[in-house]
Structure 1
Amino acid sequence: MALRIITDTSCDLPDSELGKYSIEMIPLKVTFDNGETFLDRFELGPANFVKKMKLAKILPKTSAPDPNIFIEYFEKGLKDVGEVLFVSLSSGLSSTYQTAQLACNMLGSEKVKIFDTLTASLGTGIMAIKAARMAAQGLSTDRIMERLNQMRASREVIFTLDTLENVVKGGRLSRIEGLAGTLLHIKPILRGNDQGVPEVIEKVKGRKKAMHRLVSMLGEVAGSSVKDKLIGISHVNCERDAIHLSEEIKDRYNPANEIIISEMSATIGTYAGEGGLMINI
């Protein structure tokens, strides 16, 4: 019996990686202040999302799919291959995991499993890839779930914001604080906590220092194991910086695996803002 790996569009995996591992995506929704609603990636790609986000006075809102959408994908997976594993965006950031679990309960099939990655963007994508690799090796779904739980315990996500505009729009920072931070060129460094929620852990002055700090922090949080990790770098309309970051990581840590670089979709890009840079392992 085969296993269908499904994730959501917050995974930020490039189409090439999705195709390589036959991973399916369920689209989250993004709604702008004018009432327009789009299916993330399916109807609104990263480039057009950035254009619309910059014009919006209020931060776009993202939402989980309807339970019936999950059921539709799950039923198709069961029909096609026999078992389904849904690899979800962090329950600390979205109701996606809870909605998927509800759909699973409604479906009433023991052949559908839901996994909460407690991370986001390529952190979720990397776990989906690892699940697909294990499935290809013939591991049982229960064994894959066990290993994913072990991997989740050592996951890391660190990132920096280039603009404070989105955290001001989202109400997480006052306009005065945002203006002060912008004038002083303050760039926050954030890290995902045990509940899958990002926390500001440092503030540095200037973009270059923030990027250098991400590289050094990668070694601090991962230790000597960083060389063997599958590393993902996602960005919001700053591919050149993402490539530069990957080159610094290669020079410093000589990773055994090719680094995945991708654009952030609307789901995560909404909060990161233009210039957001994220490293996931």
Structure 2
Amino acid sequence: MIKIVSDSSADLPIDLIKKYDITLVPLTVTIEGHDYLEKVDLTPKEFFAKMWSSEALPRTSQPSPASFAEAFSQFSADTEILCFTISSGLSGTYQSACIGKDLSDAKVTVFDTLAGSLGHGLQITRAAELAQQGYTVDEIVADLMEYRENMNILVLLNTLENIVKGGRLSKFQGSLAKILNIKVLLERVEGGKVEIFEKIRGKKKFKKRVLDVIQERGTDFSSTIFGITHTGNEEDVEALKQELIERFRPKDIIVNYMGATMGTYAGKDGIIISF
């Protein structure tokens, strides 16, 4: 029997978490001195409401090794555990899970998704489906390594306000970007880190460029599942979803709120597209 465990940053809809019986190990979110367990004490909607009203950026902390060890130890000795974590290029969660594995007596394979949000989540659902089809852990990992390598993750920043708050951009640069209506497109690069891909002026040009970039990444999307997460801009995301359906005819599109880990930096009206 294969059991899937993940940290809470995967941003999978609750129905998929239940469908595949996924165990989540929560990250800790700190807002104005108060600690919350992600998606336990604080829903994504509640998180964004608190973040918009806070002067300082929230902070997220990886689960402790003991938290992972406790999650692993709840299963029977004959259970094989496949644990997924947010990219090691973005967080220390992978290392924490590896230490948790050593602290437990369970049979655990820890897999670094080199992704965040639904880029992480799509790898979980793929693994869960393969497990249901009778694949072994080694076979699943081999498949996922190829899937992970070919995955595209685009981060659409509508505003740079949170980047300024986080100290990654000066207030002057942030103000200039706002005045010039500059939107920023980032992408996942080697090592699971995120870097600027392009800066585009104006919302209409930004939207067109994102769709063109997706087109450049493939010709046949009939077997592709898109994952879209957002920070509360449901109208924009629904329009984007319809554009993707009409233009690319994908196999499926999963839409959900972004969690605290990626949402902190995506900011107001941020979107992440994984495929």
Give me the TM-score of the superposition, normalised by structure 1: 0.95
> CA distance change for structure 1 residues 169 and 73 in 2, over 3 Å: closer, same or farther?
same
> Secondary structure of the residue that 2:69 maps to in structure 1?
helix
Q: Does 1:200 align with 2:196?
A: yes
- Distance in 2, matches of 1:213 and 1:260, equals 21
- Distance in 1, matches of 2:171 and 2:179, equals 12
Tell me how far 1:225 sits from its aligned partner.
4.1
Q: Does 1:42 align with 2:48?
A: no
Judge conservation of contact 2:123–2:144 (CA < 8 Å) in 1.
Answer: yes
Q: Does 1:166 align with 2:165?
A: no
Equivalent residue, structure 2, for 1:92: 89
Q: How many residues align?
A: 275
Equivalent residue, structure 1, for 2:242: 247
Give per-residue Cα distances to partners, 1:80-113, cap 9 Å, x unaligned: x61110111000000110100111122254x200
Equivalent residue, structure 1, for 2:127: 131
Judge conservation of contact 1:234–1:261 (CA < 8 Å) in 2.
Answer: yes
Equivalent residue, structure 1, for 2:18: 19
Judge conservation of contact 2:7–2:63 (CA < 8 Å) in 1.
Answer: no
Tell me how far 1:51 sits from its aligned partner.
1.3
> CA distance change for structure 1 residues 93 and 211 in 2, over 3 Å: closer, same or farther?
same
- Distance in 1, matches of 2:201 and 2:156, equals 12
Equivalent residue, structure 2, for 1:272: 266
Tell me how far 1:211 sits from its aligned partner.
2.2
Counterpart code for 1:123 = G
Tell me how far 1:278 sits from its aligned partner.
0.9
Judge conservation of contact 1:164–1:181 (CA < 8 Å) in 2.
Answer: yes
Give me the TM-score of the superposition, normalised by structure 2: 0.97
Runs of 4+ in structure 1 off by over 6 angstroms are none
Give per-residue Cα distances to partners, 1:208-267, cap 9 Å, x unaligned: 32222222211212x124331111010001111111111101111111x22000000111
Q: Could you say what the CA RMSD is over the residues aligned between the two structures, in angstroms?
A: 1.2
Q: Which runs of 5+ in 1 are unaligned?
A: none
Once the two structures are overlaid, the 10-residue window that deviates more, 40-49 or 116-125, is: 40-49
The correspondence of residues 1-281 of structure 1 with structure 2, limited to 5 A, is: 2-32=1-31, 34-78=32-76, 82-109=79-106, 111-221=107-217, 223-255=218-250, 257-281=251-275
Give per-residue Cα distances to partners, 1:122-176, cap 9 Å, x unaligned: 0000000000000000111111111111111101101211111100011110000
> Secondary structure of the residue that 2:191 maps to in structure 1?
coil
Counterpart code for 1:276 = G
Once the two structures are overlaid, the 10-residue window that deviates more, 185-194 or 2-11, is: 2-11
- Distance in 2, matches of 1:77 and 1:90, equals 25
> Secondary structure of the residue that 1:91 maps to in structure 2?
coil
Once the two structures are overlaid, the 10-residue window that deviates more, 201-210 or 131-140, is: 201-210
- Distance in 1, matches of 2:205 and 2:231, equals 18
Tell me how far 1:37 sits from its aligned partner.
0.7
Tell me how far 1:280 sits from its aligned partner.
0.3
Once the two structures are overlaid, the 10-residue window that deviates more, 210-219 or 179-188, is: 210-219
Tell me how far 1:183 sits from its aligned partner.
0.8
Tell me how far 1:59 sits from its aligned partner.
1.1
Counterpart code for 2:85 = S
- Distance in 1, matches of 2:55 and 2:271, equals 23
Q: Which runs of 5+ in 2 are unaligned?
A: none
